[in-house]
Structure 1
Amino acid sequence: MNSNTSDNHAIIRKGIYDDLPEMLQLFTATIDEVCKKDYDLQQLEAWKSGAENEERWRQVIRDQYVVVAVIENKIAGFCTLDQGNYIDLLFVHKDFQHRGIATLLYHQIEKEALLNHEKKLMADVSKTARPFFEKMGFHVVQEQTVLVKGIVMTNYKMVKNFII
């Protein structure tokens, strides 16, 4: 994959096993900082606890299509595609919000899905990420109440159908 650069000089590349510690750090810090306007403290703590499931994260790197955005040798964001058509994770570092990183990552994921002849992309999206996904052409199929470590949270099942 050739590395795309934008105004941010972000390099988009495939995620590797060695990226995991930095990805996990970014995951928890982003939830803490970026999502706090949409979820309460208990919800944030429950959500962040997902970082403790090492096996799940190893599986992400092993089984999913993972792309990371790197700026000045730091991971600025990452996105993962599971089973060819499900966006499992999309997180951008709090210091790199609103700089087009999520869009760059998303376009790489969409390109991969289209290469694999997928007809649509799906994602379970937080309140925080919903406006971004809508901007990318997704629509809400249903509002969901999910239990994370016994804590109730709201998210959205969203879909984007490709016109082929």
Structure 2
Amino acid sequence: MNSNTSDNHIILRKGIYDDLPEMLQLFTATIDEVCKKDYDLQQLEAWKSGSENRERWVKVIKEQYVLVAVTENKIAGFCTLDQGNYIDLLFVHKDFQHKGIATMLYHHIEKKALLNNEKELTADVSKTARPFFEKRGFHVVQEQTVHVKGIAMTNYKMVKNLIS
């Protein structure tokens, strides 16, 4: 199949328990490839280790609003909304970067928050994702150092006001 035609065939649907293995694979592969310009190897390894916390991921599926973008029966990306106003995870497969998938996912999630009458959206955002969030109207409230498996990493607490 011509790869150019696949861009328009992205289906957004609710994530389910059976999506977890593919979501985890996407999570680690994206960190490896897409985030390597912003974090060193130790940091990437520590970040990826989050995929081993099975309990956390099962909880994500059970308790968060999980949205997956599917193309050609593959998960191209996913985004999760926790407590109605916190974007917990937003990842797009390394092979599907710069095709508007993150934007599609984000818009849907923002709509969901607005339907829930949320006043703002918050997220803890990596250096890699910060420009994406800034383009969507988020601003940095605080630069943070988080420790994952003893490794210090920088991320940003970001917020977007949903009331104009």
1:103 corresponding residue in structure 2: 103
Gaps of 5+ in 1: 1-5
| Structure 1 vs Structure 2 CA RMSD | 1.0
- Compute the displacement of 1:13 (Å): 0.3
1:64 corresponding residue in structure 2: 64
1-structure distance, mates of 2:93, 2:18: 18
Give the count of matched residue pairs.
159
1:133 corresponding residue in structure 2: 133
TM-score in terms of structure 2 length = 0.95
- Compute the displacement of 1:9 (Å): 1.1
1:36 corresponding residue in structure 2: 36
Q: Which of structure 1's runs of 4+ aligned residues deviate more than 2 A?
A: none
AA aligned to 1:133 is F
1-structure distance, mates of 2:136, 2:69: 18
AA aligned to 2:64 is Q
AA aligned to 2:27 is F
AA aligned to 2:125 is V
Gaps of 5+ in 2: 1-5
1-structure distance, mates of 2:33, 2:11: 24
2-structure distance, mates of 1:103, 1:9: 15
AA aligned to 1:85 is N
TM-score in terms of structure 1 length = 0.95
